[in-house]
């Protein structure tokens, strides 16, 4: 294998440019070893500053996370802020998670902002992503940055950029920031000289404000008083959740929280798990073991930056089962709407937001309770965008997406595992106070609205060739959509890239009122919804599948569930033929 000329040109820029000697030596060592695959992946492109910021493997190179790619991103963001808010006082907030080098990258980010004359509010130690969103709004910042790669493996890190509303940038500002970053052609354009007087440390004062505001949102304080000793097992999976989740649970009134000791210490190597992802059963192994030991009522586990939470509860046989993101999100929204309904707080002006690949059960719940429901693209920034657009006009109750991210109340503009842990615990206490487990509440919800089952299959395709394979797969689905899936005719094709919805039978089309996104959605005659979407943050293509059937009674649950699981299996087989 030989290096392409464009890749070689970028390598030479780094070898001859204003980069440190350690970086240059790393590149020389790879050249001497003829590690052409690694060099290609490290230099074949600039790490893309996408609509959510940066995410990638740490290391030397233009396609890696390092001091220089972080610095370039921050310089571009600084240029955008100084143009957009010319003549105004500009401030930003910065936080970081427990990943290796996150604190270092946070410092680089602060250096560059301050060098560009921007006031920096810098969290003195690691903090959850949602608290950063809260701080931006509390402190009146124009922007903010979180150094995190969320639940990716330990080799990764990332840079999430936020706007003045505390949400990740959306159109048109996201494109404006991306253009500013892309316009930087030399590392010499990046100002790395920190101005100490413009960097102010923050921490516990924001923590307490945040916790106090969360506590005000509680809807079942009496149930918590009655069930304060609910047995909760919590794991931060070596991440930032340890800083605030136990405090939030305590402030809500829970007195019997057991923390998984082996995973309580922040550690960017994530030594007890393969992936620090609460969507993976393996990541909850230690928490489930502890839960079995103490006969817990609820298991909670958050990812490294504490914006996602996975949960486990006991089923009707007394065995701990993991709930997926669709189940938890539906339960949480059903609980909140029911509580508001009971208190006669629903005025017709409230709303809920979810995404196009999240269970349709949430819409069914909203429709039944007369609450307005909004659908949006995948990614919580789109939920945040709708919240900001409707601020002062309508009341946001809750929202969520299938990838274990939920939000109650409008304190932040991103998914929030701190708030979610508190409300999942409150919800569990509420049902227990009524003589029901959370699992029984789940099945009863299915009896009320229908049994919805979802599954997600991810195919990983790494590196340059992987990206090309994913693109080819999407082109094939777009030009030659399947005629049937799971034995049912495909009747509707939604192409969010072309912003077009097509009725396959009549060949008629109408425009989709969504921003452009590379997502295809197939809807079958029997109401199944199947989506294909390349991940924006990982080298994966994801297939989402949702099927449903009426559930007459609790006794029919297992048979109906088995039937729907079989249907999903057949659909997924059809997709990958």
Of the candidates 62, 160, 143, the one whose C-alpha atom is nearest the C-alpha of residue 105 is 160
Of the candidates 453, 529, 518, the one whose C-alpha atom is nearest the C-alpha of residue 485 is 529
Name residues whose C-beta falls within 8 Å of residue 278's C-beta, 6 or more positions apart in sequence: 151, 237, 284, 301, 302, 303, 308, 309, 310, 404
Q: How far is CA 62 from CA 19, 48, 185, in A?
A: 12, 9, 12
Of the candidates 393, 407, 413, 389, the one whose C-alpha atom is nearest the C-alpha of residue 350 is 393
Query: DSSP state, 354?
Result: E
Of the candidates 302, 515, 534, 313, the one whose C-alpha atom is nearest the C-alpha of residue 405 is 302
Q: What sign results for the dihedral spanned by CA atoms 252, 283, 308, 103?
A: positive
Of the residues 150, 164, 330, 420, only one is catalytic, namely 150
Structure tokens at 454: 């979802």
DSSP three-state, residue 317: coil
* In 274-360, alpha helices (H): 285-294, 325-342
CB 375 within 8 A of CB 361: no
Q: What is the largest CA-CA distance in the chain?
A: 72
Catalytic (active site) residue 150: yes
Degrees to nearest 5, angle at CA 212 with 209 and 216 = 140
- Give the per-residue SS3 of 114-133: HHCCCEEEEECCCCCHHHHH
Tell me which long-range contacts 152-155 makes (C-beta under 8 A, separation of at least 24).
Answer: 152/55, 152/275, 152/537, 152/538, 153/274, 153/275, 153/276, 154/99, 154/100, 154/268, 154/269, 154/270, 154/276, 155/57, 155/58
DSSP three-state, residue 310: strand
Q: What sign results for the dihedral spanned by CA atoms 552, 557, 559, 563?
A: positive
Residue with tokens 């800083």: 243
* Catalytic machinery residues: 150
């Amino acid at each position: 294998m030989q290096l392409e000329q464009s890749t070689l040109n970028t390598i030479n820029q780094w070898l001859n440019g204003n980069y440190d000697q350690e970086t240059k030596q790393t590149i020389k060592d790879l050249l001497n070893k003829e590690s052409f695959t690694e060099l290609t992946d490290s230099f074949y492109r600039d790490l893309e500053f996408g609509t959510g910021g940066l995410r990638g493997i740490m290391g030397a190179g233009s396609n890696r996370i390092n001091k220089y790619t972080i610095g370039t991103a921050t310089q571009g963001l600084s240029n955008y802020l100084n143009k957009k808010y010319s003549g105004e006082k500009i401030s930003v907030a910065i936080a970081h998670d427990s990943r290796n080098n996150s604190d270092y990258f946070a410092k680089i980010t602060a250096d560059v902002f301050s060098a560009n004359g921007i006031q920096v509010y810098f969290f003195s130690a690691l903090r959850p992503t949602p608290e950063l969103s809260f701080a931006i709004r509390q402190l009146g910042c124009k922007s903010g940055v979180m150094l995190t790669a969320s639940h990716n493996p330990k080799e990764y890190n990332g840079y999430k950029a936020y706007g003045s509303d505390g949400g990740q940038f959306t159109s048109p500002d996201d494109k404006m920031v991306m253009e500013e970053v892309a316009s930087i052609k030399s590392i010499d354009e990046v100002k790395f000289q920190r101005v100490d007087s413009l960097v102010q440390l923050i921490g516990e004062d924001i923590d307490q404000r945040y916790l106090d505001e969360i506590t005000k949102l509680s809807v079942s304080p009496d149930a918590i008083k009655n069930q304060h000793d609910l047995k909760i097992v919590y794991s931060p999976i070596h991440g930032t959740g340890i800083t605030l989740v136990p405090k939030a649970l305590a402030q809500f009134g829970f007195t019997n929280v057991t923390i998984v000791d082996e995973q309580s210490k922040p550690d960017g190597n994530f030594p007890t798990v393969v992936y620090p992802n609460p969507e993976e059963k393996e990541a909850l192994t230690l928490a489930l073991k502890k839960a079995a030991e103490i006969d817990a009522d609820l298991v909670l586990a958050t990812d490294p930056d504490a914006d996602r939470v996975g949960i486990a509860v006991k089923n009707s046989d007394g065995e701990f089962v993991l709930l997926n993101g669709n189940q938890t999100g539906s339960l949480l929204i059903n609980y909140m709407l029911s509580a508001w309904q009971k208190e006669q707080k629903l005025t017709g002006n409230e709303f809920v937001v979810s995404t196009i690949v999240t269970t349709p059960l949430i819409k069914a719940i909203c429709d039944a309770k007369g609450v307005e429901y909004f659908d949006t693209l995948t990614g919580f920034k789109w939920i945040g965008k709708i919240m900001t657009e409707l601020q002062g006009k309508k009341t946001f109750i809750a929202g969520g997406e299938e990838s274990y991210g939920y939000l109650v109340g409008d304190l932040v503009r991103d998914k929030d595992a701190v708030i979610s842990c508190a409300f999942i615990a409150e919800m569990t206490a509420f049902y227990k106070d009524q003589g029901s487990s959370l699992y029984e509440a789940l099945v009863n919800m299915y009896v009320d609205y229908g049994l919805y089952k979802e599954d997600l299959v991810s195919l990983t395709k790494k590196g340059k060739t992987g990206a090309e394979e994913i693109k080819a797969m999407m082109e094939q689905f777009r030009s030659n959509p399947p005629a049937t899936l799971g034995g049912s005719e495909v009747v509707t094709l939604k192409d969010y890239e072309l912003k077009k919805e097509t009725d396959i039978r009549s060949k008629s089309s109408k425009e989709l009122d969504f921003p452009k996104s590379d997502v295809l959605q197939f809807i079958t005659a029997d109401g199944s919804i199947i989506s294909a979407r390349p991940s924006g943050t990982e080298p994966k293509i994801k297939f989402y599948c949702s099927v449903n059937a009426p559930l007459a009674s609790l006794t029919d649950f297992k048979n109906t569930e088995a039937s729907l699981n079989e249907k999903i299996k057949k659909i997924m087989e059809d997709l990958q033929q």
